[in-house]
Amino acid sequence: MNAKRVDKIATVVIDIIAGIIVLILASLLGYILVRGLPHVSWHFLTSPAKASRRVVALACSSSTPFTCCYWRC
């Protein structure tokens, strides 16, 4: 394999790596926006937190019991 060929292959590999990194960020942001944006509303941002009993039970049984204090049990 001659040097020019190796150069071409290396360039393509580096291009692919840069593309993957851009893709990672795009998918991170896209995932957050697609999953989160529909739920953001004026009501969601301004109304006080309300937790159903089921959610409180789940929060209390998770690995960090002191999060329980943040919920109004």
Partner 1 sequence: MQEDQIRAAMLRKSRAAKIEQRGRAISFACIALIVLVVIAIFYFVASKGLATFYHNGVNVWEFLSKKSWSPSTIGPHGKPEVGALPMIVGSFSVTFLAAVVATPFAIGAALFMTEIASNWGAKILQPVIDLLVGIPSVVYGFIGLSVVVPAIRNVFGGTGFGILAGTFVLFVMILPTVTSMTVDAIHAVPSYYRSASAALGATRWQTTSRVVLRAAVPGILTGIVFGMARAFGEALAVQMVIGNAAMLPKNLISPASTLTSVLTSGIGNTVMGSLENNALWSLALVLLLMSLVFNLVIRWIGGRGALK
Interacting residue ranges for partner 1, rule: CB under 8 A? 3-4, 6-7, 10-11, 13-15, 17-18, 20-22, 24-25, 28-29, 31-32, 63-66
CA distances from 65 to 23, 51, 71 (A): 37, 16, 11
Closest approach, Cβ 50 to partner 1, in A, equals: 21
Instruction: Say which residues have a Cβ less than 8 Å from residue 68's Cβ, sequence separation at least 6.
Output: 56, 59, 60
Cβ at position 43, least distance to partner 1 in Å: 22
Strands (E), 1-73: none
35 vs 53 by CB, closer to partner 1: 35
